[in-house]
Structure 1
Amino acid sequence: MLSLLFRLCFLNKGLLTHRRGLARGSLYKVQEPLDIREVRNKLGEIVGVSTNWRDHIKAMEERKLLDNFLVKSQKDLPPRKMKDSYIEVLLPLGSDPSLREKYLTVQNTVRFGRILEDLDSLGGSKNFTVWFITAIFVHIDNEFWPVLDATFVMVARDSENKGPAFVNPLIPENEEEEELFRQGELNKSRRIAWSSASLLKVAPSPEERNTIHELFLSTLDPKTISFQSRVLPAKSVWMEDTKLKSLDICHPQERNIFNRIFGGFLMRKAYELGWTTACSFGGSRPFVVTVDDIMFQKPVEVGSLLFLSSQVCFTQNNYIQVRVHSEVASLQTNEHMTTNIFHFTFMSEKEVPSVFPKTYGESMLYLDGQRHFKSMSVPLILKKDYPVEP
């Protein structure tokens, strides 16, 4: 079993050079890229998947026997190389009409939510890799253009998902691999620092406190000179008026190989609600720029009710920062638990209104959204031929 945290950002096409083949310019060569369906089938073969939901209890009981094969120390596992985890996957949208129907939007662009599902499948297929990068290319005019890259952190679990499991030590073989390894360590440090500075743990910085106070002062009614009388500045929206919500029943059809709800399904549903929120708020079709760290805090059981709540929490020029909160409720106990918090940065074709918080809680959401927006790697230049939409 794997826990997953991942982050991705879209690349600016104007800053990159194209490639004629998927393997060109990469560290390793592959004989032939796999089809994404082959990846899923292979993962099912490795883990052992019950093809029918009614057999899942028996399958989970049989999986307990695998605990006997777990090592007691990482020293008992042979070292692995980065090239052992390298894989290339194709989505033959041009030659497979049935697959194309699943992936295309009404605008004849690629559904990014489907890409999120594939990234989750791809991450699970390399279950001996603790940290790795995935790049996606699109085929335009007989050439491959890079579209996005994604960074994953995978946490190995035992066969019953009750505790951690050791992974093979990783040995870099050249300077480029050593740099990737160092980048992984830097990413780890970044996540620890980000968690330590969370607004759920510590107070905002002096600069952030000044920001909130300035926002508050700009909404006071000058006619009344009262802290209670608030007015909305021009070209602005109250944060509370940007919310959208959805509810899904988690059917067995959406289960993963561990008989829990597939993480890619959760990411797709959250992304599509976030995109809808940005579209409704900005008044035009937005484009995704960054998906910030996604931490899967709790597994989602089959049969649960999935509640998603989306809200615009920060804007700047034509950028829209959207936060999606995911929680599940058990039909047996009606207990609600948070499973994920998603942060999406979208870009609108035109300048969007500012958002203003009313309460202290909304002010913290505003600052958190601002932090996530500032962590975005490179501002994107909007292109009319942008190939990926929701």
Structure 2
Amino acid sequence: MFSHRVLKSVASSTFRAFSQHGKAPDMADGNAHLLVTNVRNRLRQIVGASTNWKDHQQALAERILLSKHLANSQEELPAKTMKESEIEVHLPLGTQRSVREKYLNVHNSVRFGRILEDLDSIAVLICYSHTWNKELERSPLSIVTALVDKIDMRRNIIYPDCDIKFTGHVTWVGKTSIEAKMHMTQFHDGAYTPVLDATFVMVARDPENKRAAFVNPLKLESPEEEKIFQQGEINKKRPCSSTHSTQKRLAFGVGFFPKAIWMEDAKLKGLEICHPQERNIFNRIFGGFLMRKAYELGWANACAFAGCRPMLVAVDDIMFRKPVEIGSLLMLSSQVCYTEEHHVQVRVHTEVLDPLTRQHDTTNVFHFTFQVEKPVPAVVPQSYGESMLYLDGKRHFDETMKSQ
């Protein structure tokens, strides 16, 4: 028999070993937990989505039959608590080298675009956890991302060889919409430290994703939950900055700004062909993929503009205006729209082009705030449209700085 002192010494040594290599004890072999790599498979099981593209039409036909299980009113659905939607998802960067390779960037850090993909999938799973009916084998709801309200970075460095944990739950519910908050922490120096906080707003639709569907109301169990819910109410009433218009027009030129650059010269564009590989469980392009591509283009633009590596500070007001169909041409355009000292505000506009009809449709507008190591030149608008982008960029930047 080992003595208590010996067992304690062994446990302490094991913990130090994990700490040195960024491997969290709760992600050690033999511990049961949900991995990021399993989240999308779990979602496919919940809705009965096909795993092969060639079978997607049959899967859709089967999902249409689930419409009979939709509630006719929210009152028909049982209230759920915040705890019922709580989930914990692990990303074993320190434990599994094969996973690490997918997330590694050239700067020996983590590709944040991959993190955006993971957050989007986890937010959907949180909402399905809230609406899950144990009596049904599959959910009749199509839950999709409507808005990324805010992503606040708590730490700029994400280590590529340290385990990551995502936690989250539903924080607000309307008739057909759900707000989910998530927290990302990373195991480093023997403890989990905060990396980011994210707020997503999801909407529920029918199995064909054509009309709104009711979701379970939220049952509040404590004053703390009441406070969280009230913040969700405030977020709902707050208009998105990206949709806020202004009539003020700027009239200035480069002469007012030393080392200034015209906004026209601070653009970067890209194009993606939307292949079936990037589809979501409803056979449209995965929202996380769109966020990753927009982030990477915005980051590249900020890097080229500043001449040094930018660090993400915040993401906000990502509105999903239109689903992106398989086979579309995704056109991305990034614009440095505002700068201040060591910060660069980048707006990325995405639209789809149907190659057969040649119809253009805006799908998303993204707003990223970056910080760089040296002061950057000012950007100056020349046209009325650029002036509006400048004011909108300043508004996003000011809101981000208030929350830091």
TM-score range, shorter chain: 0.7 to 0.9
CA distance in structure 2 between the partners assigned to 1:318 and 1:63 by the alignment: 50
TM alignment of 1:195-206, pairs within 5 A: 198-199=244-245, 202-204=246-248
3-state SS in 2 of match to 1:375: helix
Is 1:149 aligned to 2:218, yes or no? Answer: no
Higher mean displacement: 171-180 or 342-351: 171-180
Task: Say whether 1:338 aligns with 2:386.
Answer: no
Look up the match of 1:383. Answer: none
Maintained 8 Å contact 2:312/2:370: yes
Q: Where does residue 308 of structure 2 map in the other structure?
A: 284
The one-letter code matched in structure 2 to 1:148 is: L
Classify the secondary structure of the residue corresponding to 1:132: strand
The 3-state SS of whatever aligns with 1:88 is strand
CA contact (8 A) 1:238 1:355 kept: yes
> SS of the residue aligned with 1:149?
strand
Asked if residue 59 in structure 1 is aligned to residue 105 in structure 2, the reply is: no
Residues of 1 paired with 2:401 and 2:227: CA distance? 18
Tell me the residue number matched to 1:39: 39
Query: Which of 219, 230, 234 lines up with 1:182 in the alignment?
Result: 230
Which residue identity lines up with residue 302 of structure 1 in the other structure? I
Q: Does 1:255 align with 2:289?
A: no
For residues 320-361 of structure 1, the C-alpha deviation after alignment (integer angstroms, 9 at most, x for no partner) is 000000000112211110000000000011110000001111
Give the Cα separation in 1 of the matches to 2:319 and 2:36.
24
CA distance in 2 between counterparts of 1:283 and 1:175 reads 49
Runs of 4+ in 1 over 3 A off after TM superposition: 377-380
Hey, what does 1:170 align to over in structure 2? 218
Q: How far apart in 1 are the matches of 2:259 and 2:311?
A: 22
Q: Structure 2: which 5+ runs fail to align?
A: 1-23, 132-169, 171-177
Give the root-mean-square deviation of aligned CA atoms: 1.9
Judged with a 3 Å threshold, the aligned counterparts in structure 2 of structure 1 residues 21 and 347 are, in CA distance, closer, same or farther, namely farther
Percent sequence identity is 58
CA distance in 2, matches of 1:309, 1:328: 12
SS class of match (2:87)? coil
After superposition, where does 1:100-179 map in structure 2 within 5 Å? Answer: 100-127=100-127, 128=131, 129=170, 130-179=178-227
Is the Cα–Cα contact under 8 Å of residues 21 and 143 in structure 1 kept in the other structure? Answer: no
Q: Which amino acid aligns with 1:94?
A: G
Map Cα deviations across residues 139-185 of structure 1 (whole Å, 9 max, x no partner).
11121110110011111111000100000010111121111101100
Counterpart for residue 9 of structure 1: none
- Residues 279/83 of structure 1: CA separation in 2 closer, same or farther (3 Å cut): same
- Is the Cα contact below 8 Å between 1:138 and 1:144 reproduced in 2? yes
Residue 355 in structure 1 maps to residue 379 in structure 2: yes
Deviation at 1:38, TM superposition (A): 2.3
The CA deviation at 1:234 is 2.6
The normalised TM-score by structure 1 is 0.81
1:324 corresponds to: 348
Distance 1:245 1:348 in 2: 21
- Alpha-carbon deviation of 1:377? 4.8
Letter in 2 for 1:330: D
Question: What is residue 262 of structure 2 aligned with on the other side?
Answer: 238
Separation (CA, whole Å) in 1 of partners of 2:38 and 2:402? 34
Letter in 2 for 1:301: E
User: What is the CA deviation profile of residues 354-373 of structure 1, one whole-angstrom value per residue up to 9, with x for unaligned ones?
Assistant: 00001111000000001111
How many residues in Structure 1 have an aligned counterpart in Structure 2? 330
Q: Is the 8 A contact 1:21 1:144 kept in 2?
A: no
- Local SS of the residue matching 1:358: coil
8 Å contact kept, 2:126–2:180: no
1:374 maps to 398
Higher relative contact order (CA closer than 8 Å, sequence separation 6+): 1
* Residue 198 of structure 1, CA deviation: 1.5
Q: Counterpart of 2:261 in structure 1: which amino acid?
A: V
Per the TM alignment, residue 191 of structure 1 is displaced from its structure 2 partner at its CA by: 2.7
What is the distance in 2 between the residues matched to 1:312 and 1:298? 24
What is the identity, as a one-letter code, of the residue corresponding to 2:105?
T
1:83-98 paired onto structure 2 within 5 Å: 83-98=83-98
Deviations 1:79-121 (A, max 9, x none): 0000011011110001111110001112221110000000010
Residue 306 of structure 1 aligns with which residue?
A: 330
Deviation sequence 1:22-54 (CA, Å, 0-9, x none): 9xxxxxxxx954211222211110011111111
Q: Secondary structure at the match of 2:235?
A: helix
- Conserved? CA contact 1:232–1:238, under 8 Å: no
Give the whole-Å Cα distance in 1 for the aligned partners of 2:400 and 2:359.
Answer: 35
Give TM-score, length-normalised by structure 2: 0.78
